Amino acid sequence: MTSLTARAPGPPVQRVVTGYLDHLTVERGLAANTISSYRRDLRRYTGFLEAAGVRGFAEVADSDVAAFLVALRTGDEEHPPLSASSAARAVVAVRGLHRFALLDGLVGDDVAAEVRPPTPDRRLPKAITVEQVEALLAAAGDGEGPRPVRDRALLEVLYGTGARISEAVGLDVDDLDGTAGVVRLAGKGGKHRVVPVGSYAVRAVQDYLVRARPALATGRSARGALFLNSRGGRLSRQSAWAVLRTAAERAGLAELADLSPHTLRHSFATHLLDGGADVRVVQELLGHASVTTTQVYTLVTVDRLREVYATSHPRALR
C-alpha cells in the first residue's frame, strides 16, 4: 500500500499577493490605477481562498481557480455578478499572481495556467446610415464665419478617409494632395499610410483653406497644421468632439447612442463593405495591422443583409 505524503502548504496566500503587487509596482512600474485594480481583484481572490479553507499558496489547486471564475460570473451575497470583461480582468490578475509564484520558486507548478479568461461579448461597431451622415455634414457647415467651413471640412475628411480623430487633427496642410486625391495619415505606432480622399472632402478642404483657415490663423499659429482652432493653434481631439456634438444637435441626431468621431470611421468601413469593397482593401484603408480586426465590420453587413432578406424574400417569413 502506497503512503501518501501531505502537500506542504507553502507561504501564506497574502504574503505572495503582497510580493506580487510589490513586483508590479517596483520592477514592472505599472500605473497606480492598474495596481489598484489588481489589488482589488486579488483581495477578492484571497477572500475566496480563505473561505474555501486554503491557507498556504501551494495548497491552491486548478479547481480553486476555476471555481473563482465561476464565482465572479455568478456573484454572491457581497458581490454582484461581473461582466465577461470585468471577470477576465480579475482572472488575468490571478494568472499573473500564480505565474509570479512559479518563477519566484514559491511553488512547483502553475495551477492557473489552463484557466482561460472569459471572452468578452463582441460589441459590433456602431454605424449610421448614409442619409444620417449627409445630414450631419450639412449641419456642420451651417452658419456664418470660418468655423462652420472648418467643421464641414473636418467631418468630410473623417468620413471620406476613415481616419481616426487623432489622425485627422494631426494632419498638416502638406499631407493632403488634392490633385492626386490622396492624404497621408500618421497612424498608431508611428506608421504612415496614404489613402484616397473623395472629391467631396477635397472640395471641402480647399474651400476651408481659401475661406476659413486664413481667418483662423494668427502669428502664433501651429506651423503647418491643417485644422486650426479659434486661437490659431492646432485643433484638439476634444474640440473635434465638440464639433461633432454640435453638428449632431443641429441635424437632429443627438439622440443616437454612442455617437462619436469614431462613428464616422465605423460608417466609412461599413458603407464600403455594403458597396462591395473587399475586406482586405478596407483593412489597408483603416490601417489595421490584422484583417481579423477589420472582419468585425463584415458582421455588421451580414446583419443588414439578414434584415433585408427577412423583409423581402417571400419564403423568409415564418
* Burial classification of residue 189, based on how many CB atoms lie within 10 Å of its CB (0-12 exposed, 13-18 middle, 19 or more buried): exposed
288: annotated active-site residue: yes
Tell me the per-residue pLDDT of 243-280, one tens digit each, with 9 for 90 and over. 999 999 999 987 876 788 888 998 998 898 888 888 88
Q: What is the CATH number of the domain that holds 260?
A: 1.10.443.10
5 within some domain: no
34 within some domain: yes
Whether the full predicted model's pTM is greater than 0.85, yes or no, is no
Residues 157 and 233 in one domain: yes
Residues 154 and 190 in one domain: yes
Number of domains in the chain: 2
Per-residue confidence (pLDDT) for residue 239, from 0 to 100: 93
265: annotated active-site residue: yes
Q: Which of 7, 28, 43, 188 is catalytic?
A: 188
2 within some domain: no
Residues 225 and 178 in one domain: yes
Q: Which of 89, 265, 266, 271 is catalytic?
A: 265
From CA 26, how far away is CA 93, in angstroms rounded? 17
Residues 46 and 174 in one domain: no
Residues 92 and 184 in one domain: no
Residues 199 and 89 in one domain: no
Per-residue confidence (pLDDT) for residue 305, from 0 to 100: 59
| Cell numbers 464616422: residue | 264
313: annotated active-site residue: no
CA dist 262 to 81, 89, 121, Å? 30, 25, 20
The cell for 90 is 480579475
Q: What is the CATH number of the domain that holds 59?
A: 1.10.150.130
Per-residue confidence (pLDDT) for residue 7, from 0 to 100: 55
Question: What are residue 225's DSSP bridge partners?
Answer: 172
Residues 58 and 159 in one domain: no
Residues 162 and 246 in one domain: yes
119 within some domain: no
The cell for 123 is 460589441
Q: In Å, how far from its chain's centre is CA 296?
A: 13
Per-residue confidence (pLDDT) for residue 255, from 0 to 100: 80
120 within some domain: no
225 within some domain: yes
Q: Which of 126, 237, 262, 304 is catalytic?
A: 262
Q: Which of 44, 152, 164, 271 is catalytic?
A: 164
Residues 80 and 194 in one domain: no
From CA 54, how far away is CA 13, in angstroms rounded? 8
Closest CA to 106 of 241, 8, 28: 8
Q: Which of 103, 121, 151 is the last residue of a domain?
A: 103
Q: Which domain holds residue 264?
A: 130-312
Residues 59 and 150 in one domain: no
Per-residue confidence (pLDDT) for residue 161, from 0 to 100: 92
Residues 225 and 299 in one domain: yes
The cell for 125 is 461597431
191: annotated active-site residue: no
Give the residues of the chain that fall short of pLDDT 70: 1-8, 120-125, 219-222, 257, 299-318
164: annotated active-site residue: yes
Residues 35 and 95 in one domain: yes
